[in-house]
Amino acid sequence: MSESEFEIIRRYFMRQSQKREDVITGIGDDAAVLQVPVGQELVVSVDTLVAGVHFPENTPAAAIGHKSLAVNLSDLAAMGATPAWVTLALTMPGNNSTWIDEFSRAFCALADRYRVQLVGGDTTRGPLSVTVQAHGFVAAGTALRRKGAEPGDRIYVTGTLGDAGLALQLRESAPDGLQQKLDYPEPRIEAGHVLTGLASAAIDISDGLLADLGHLLESGDSGASLQVDALPRSDAFLSALRQSGSLQQPPYYELPLSAGDDYELCFTVSGKFCPRVEQLLSAMPCGCTQIGIIEESAGIRCYLEDGTSYRPAGQGYRHFDKAGK
């Protein structure tokens, strides 16, 4: 590594105020040395964001910095883990210090908020690509999984669905509230944490509700009924649809069902724990909404408020509906 590359790392990636006591050796050596607390299990996740594939080429550096960490923290949230450490492999076409400054400022701000320390990484030249590996802890044996939902369990989601998908569709004309959800998703760490011991299964929604709930159901060999009118939609989402005259039209249903990038949690809860879960999550900014129920027969069946069935057009549906209904 050249002197200038180390200078970049020192200036932009050692700027965090967060210094954890369980980091014995952080950035600057050949590898990080970290201490896992006694009685806890290590939960590890890695994700790569590639320019033009996972985000549009014109995405602001700050949004890329935030989102590259947020999507990993979201995976830890879905496991009920508390994040602790991250590593960052950054490939950049050039040495644009303004870009790196904005990227790392947003990355480190999110890391600081969740007491996560950047403990190492790699910096290389090439087409823009960001790989983040996140490490967190759960008390031994308590990690949430995709597998575990039982017939009769209620299905919930945190926050609202379809915002990021609508922002992607509207592009430049997307209102701020929707663009914010696409560029700066908030990992649902606290929600995941309180769900350990209460939820029977959990997954984060990166590819769309139908696709990701489909993964959860496949893991548990079960099916589900969804109330599509009950899906939580934000005020920004509703007012943007109202403006374009498509309230109650396909986007009203399809975006919350099939659009990705919301990074909310979808989880299942046995009836006896529902009041407790609703009480705990309603005290958080994200809240939660009950959207359906786990059933024995495979596939996802969607219903409107009046009890008639709704047939989703989105790709996620074909992907998992074994029954082919």
Smallest distance, ligand ADP to C-beta of residue 196, A: 30
Task: Give the residue among 265, 239, 266, 238 at the shortest CA–CA distance from 252.
Answer: 238
Q: How do 129-139 and 82-92 pair as beta strands?
A: antiparallel
Among 1, 140, 283, 304, binds ligand ADP (CB under 6 A): 1
Q: Which part of the chain contacts ligand ADP (CB under 6 A), choosing from 120-128, 154-162, 231-239, 307-315? A: 120-128
Applying CB under 6 A, does 91 fall inside the site for ligand ADP? no
234, two tokens: 């934000």
Residues in contact with ligand ADP, counted by CB under 6 A, come to a total of 14
Q: How many CB atoms lie within 10 A of CB 143?
A: 19
Among 93, 95, 122, 282, binds ligand ADP (CB under 6 A): 122
Q: Which part of the chain contacts ligand ADP (CB under 6 A), choosing from 22-30, 57-65, 175-183, 215-223? A: 22-30
Which lies closer to Mg ion via its Cβ, residue 122 or residue 221?
122
114, two tokens: 């969740």
Applying CB under 5 A, does 305 fall inside the site for Mg ion? no
Among 5, 7, 29, 122, binds Mg ion (CB under 5 A): 122
Applying CB under 6 A, does 246 fall inside the site for ligand ADP? no
**Cross-strand partners of 301:** 225
**Cross-strand partners of 46:** 133
What lies within 8 Å, CB to CB, of 132 at 6+ separation is 46, 47, 68, 69, 71, 72, 86, 87, 88, 89
81, two tokens: 């883990």
Element (H, E) at 137: strand 129-139
Site track 142-171 with ligand ADP (rule: CB under 6 A), x = hit: ------------------------------
Applying CB under 6 A, does 205 fall inside the site for ligand ADP? no
Applying CB under 6 A, does 88 fall inside the site for ligand ADP? yes
Q: By three-state DSSP, how is residue 88 classified?
A: strand
Buried b vs exposed e over 55-78: b needs ≥16 C-beta within 10 Å?
Answer: beeebebbbbbbbbbbbbbbbbbb
Among 7, 11, 24, 28, binds ligand ADP (CB under 6 A): 28
Q: How many CB atoms lie within 10 A of CB 48?
A: 15
Q: Which part of the chain contacts ligand ADP (CB under 6 A), choosing from 62-70, 114-122, 164-172, 243-251? A: 114-122
Residues in contact with Mg ion, counted by CB under 5 A, come to a total of 1
Which residues form the interface with ligand ADP (CB under 6 A)?
A: 1, 9, 13, 27-30, 88, 90, 118, 120-123
